[in-house]
Structure 1
Amino acid sequence: MCVMAWLALPFPAAADEREDCEKLKGLASIEACTQVIEAGSYGANDLAVAYLNRGLENFARRDYDQAVADYTAAIALDGKNADIYNNRGNAYHAKRDYPRALRDFDKAIALNAAHALAYNNRGIVYGDMGDFDRAIQDYDQAIAIHPAYASAYNNRGNIRAKQGDFRMAVQDYSQAIVLKPSYVGAYNNRAMAYGALGQYAEAADDFRQSMALRPNETAKSGLAALEARIAAKAVDLTAAPMSFRRMPNTDLAGALLDTVTTDNLDACEAACAGNSYCRAYSFNMWNGLCFLKGDPAMRYLEPSTMSGLKSETYPPPISDAGIAMVRFRNKAFPGEPVRESQEKRFEDCEATCQISDTCVAFSFIRTEKSCRMFEKPGAYVSDAAADSGAKRQIIN
């Protein structure tokens, strides 16, 4: 984000409200900026600054609708300012309006090809949308422009972890830590990547360093789970019959051992059972792919996937990452919904699912204005009369 300074002070008597708008925080800044906007005596440049600064404060208060309105007013007054488009893109992203966020970041980059922040922020949106290749391209560009950009390294590491490339993820997190030694999030992320690689001592050291920098629940729970997993592995359970703990709507971050093409869950489970290094599997029901994994480091919400843990494998911690809604146009989820209601628009159906604890995926039948919500969705099918969506937890 960017705070704009005043370009001129032609009205000395009003300098206080303009200075307060720029330098104060929270409601005090919002009130001062509003005074400037409503005064009726300022030029376009000064008003653009006031709208921008008020937008920044509204964004900080998580009033994203008002932030968008303020940034839009600033753009109407100063349409060549790349920073304002970047900031409005952040607000649209916070509202999970990914198409508008992408358009704003595109515009910021068009106005300023060296805008590392806009590349990084656009990469975050692509990552949330599951377009990992474009996300990495944007992080690469942000780093090329600003080689000391610690957050871009951390974010690129997150994408590589999602792709199962934990060794490259560790490299990115390590570089982020070199650039910013107090980076708590990078220590936590590297700890989880180390755990996925089976490097438990390194993972524990990172969680402890994170706690030393700032006590936080992610490191605390991660360290506890790691210690319990190590203890569980020390117990000899080789005589126990092979069994799995199945977890619907769950994917696992863990070292990828092998990929098996199958549309059968039992076959996926059998493949893991027959592999002495496999501790868990993730079975993507929608694409018919079975991923055999080592010790899992994290579990997160993913409606396309059923995961399983070998009986002696300790369950990894649940990710506290945010949940995004992913849309599938002209698709429908089959089967019996857990709940069905009448909604006027797709967006209303999506919002209803978003706030429901039992809804993981939904289908909106346009011709019937019917909103069907599913707790355990199967693979979606093509349906010209329907649009669908699903909750997906994104690790950032």
Structure 2
Amino acid sequence: MLLMAWMMLPGSVRADERSDCEKLNGEASIGACTAVIEAGTYDAADLSTAYLNRGLEYFALRYYDQAIADYTASIALDASKADVFNNRGNAYHAKRDYPMAIRDFDRAIAINPAHALAYNNRGIVYGDMGDYARAIQDYDQAIAIHPAYASAYNNRGNIRAKQGDFRQAVQDYSQAIVLKPSYVGAFNNRAMAYGALGRFAEAADDFRRSMALRPNDTAKAGLAALEARIAAKTAQTSAAPMSFRRMPNTDLAAALLDTVAADSIDACEAACAANSYCRAYSFNMWNALCFLKGDPALRFLEPSTMSGLKSETYPPPISDAGVSMVRFHNKIFPGEPVRESNANRIEDCEATCQISDTCVAYSFVKTEKSCRMFERPGAYASDAGADSGAKRQVVN
């Protein structure tokens, strides 16, 4: 809202018109602003403010076309106010006219580069358009300008959640709540993000806190659905153990739900089984990292990783990305190779592995001039007398 600075003019009737246009709400304000506009005795500055205030009231009543017309009239009289462009952008957004909304937010920012609200509002439009990268950039800028901007944190959390990055979403919602402890929407949003991560107790607690702040259908329905999900999960767990289809030398392109500590494939698999949103996992054996994932979209060659799919999850297609070789200096793969041969250079060993269907990784033992090829390599170890390599698909 713009603060309205009316220049005091003679005449009690004119003062009353302007005061009512500024201070009243709804139809009463619209009537007073219309009287100012139609009086024919006010200067351009007063008329610009009257059009602005009537536009705000039309917008509040959801008369978006009338609001846009009044904002446009206000701009025609005074195009120096960033807030008016921001307000008209909101009206265009409400009509789902995204290009026009973006144009107005751009103009508001051009007039006032520190207009945090315009950055936030433009981020909302980019999010609705599916341009998540630009949305996050705008929320980042709004927060940089106004670090206590709770709504910008909440909105950025919404984009993180749409991208499947629920851990980052939880962090943004939590910061919004720190800045505004009565933020019902942020509690509901964080509850849903917690639910996506399988953290049901925390999700239920957030829905209850939301209801305590203000009874609302979102929290009520979310809590009921959460309780039903917990009951179904309990029944499913007691009925039969979860089964998985394991895929060696495979990583999965999918939304990342969580990263958990796991020292074995079995522990990683158990973590996925315990998360009702988890459809697959990828366990990096070389670094002992477990990644819980949603529905996988693609699988690709990665010798460091064992992936698994829940039994009811359909295997995704295999990536057609090219296979490249990566080398590891002073490293050796343990265990029994599927094949071993003589080689004078690492290049010869690598070339042999590259054309072999059964070779996924190799170790070239320099002191023995020996080439060892592995179908399922374990975690490599340091060895100054060896260099190693592996096949890998890189998926952007």
TM class by smaller structure: 0.5 to 0.7
- RMSD over aligned Cα, in angstroms? 2.9
Q: Distance in 1 between matches of 2:116 and 2:8?
A: 28
C-alpha displacement of 1:6: 1.6
Q: Percent identity?
A: 73
Query: Could you say what secondary structure the match of 1:70 adopts?
Result: helix
Deviation at 1:253, TM superposition (A): 9.2
Distance, in Å, in 2 between the alignment partners of 1:253 and 1:44 is 54
Classify 1:310/1:84 alpha carbon distance in 2 versus 1 (closer, same or farther; 3 Å): farther
**In structure 2, C-alpha distance between the alignment counterparts of 1:108 and 1:138, rounded to whole Å:** 13
For 1:239 and 1:116, the matched residues in 2 are separated by 51
Aligned-pair CA distance for 1:234: 1.2
Give the secondary structure class of the aligned counterpart of 1:59.
helix
Moved over 4 A (4+): 239-242, 275-282
| Distance in 1 (alpha carbons) for counterparts of 2:76 and 2:311 | 58
Residue aligned with 1:181, SS: coil
Q: Which has the larger radius of gyration?
A: 2
What residue in structure 2 maps to residue 237 of structure 1? 239
CA–CA separation in structure 2 for the residues paired with 1:208 and 1:220:
8
Contact in 2 for aligned 1:85/1:108 (Cα 8 Å): yes
1:5 and 2:8 are equivalent in the alignment: no
Deviations 1:6-28 (A, max 9, x none): 24434443101110000000000
Equivalent residue runs for 1:29-108 within 5 Å? 29-108=29-108
Change (3 A) 1:148 1:27: same
1:49 deviates by 0.5
- Label 1:201 to 1:277 Cα distance change in 2 as closer, same or farther (>3 A): closer
Kindly tell me: are residues 70 and 240 of structure 1, through their superposed partners in 2, closer, same or farther at Cα, counting changes over 3 Å? same
**TM (normalized to structure 1)?**
0.62
Are positions 1:293 and 2:291 aligned together? no
* In 1, Cα distance between equivalents of 2:195 and 2:276: 13
Identify if the C-alpha distance between structure 1 residues 278 and 175 changes in structure 2 by more than 3 Å, giving closer, same or farther: closer
Amino acid in structure 2 at the alignment position of 1:255 = L
For 1:37-58, what per-residue CA distance to the aligned partner results, in whole angstroms no more than 9, with x for missing partners? 0000000000000000000000
Q: Which residue of 2 aligns with 1:319?
A: none
- Note the C-alpha offset of 1:233: 1.2
Distance change in 2, residues 1:69/1:170 (3 Å)? same
User: Which structure has more RCO (C-alpha within 8 Å, separation ≥ 6)?
Assistant: 1
Asked whether 1:204 is paired with 2:204, we answer yes
The alpha-carbon deviation at position 91 of structure 1 amounts to 0.2
1:256–1:293 contact (8 Å) kept in structure 2: no
Contact 1:278 1:292 (C-alpha < 8 Å) held by counterparts: no
Q: CA deviation at 1:5?
A: 3.1
Whole-Å separation in 1 of the counterparts to 2:168 and 2:215:
27
TM-score scaled by length of structure 2: 0.62
Distance 1:210 1:310, change over 3 A: farther
Q: Which runs of 5+ in 1 are unaligned?
A: 243-251, 258-271, 283-290, 295-308, 312-396
SS in 2 for 1:255: strand
CA contact (8 A) 2:143 2:153 kept: yes
SS in 2 for 1:69: helix
Unaligned ranges ≥5, structure 2: 245-253, 260-268, 280-291, 296-309, 313-396
TM superposition shift of 1:281 = 8.1
Aligned length: 267
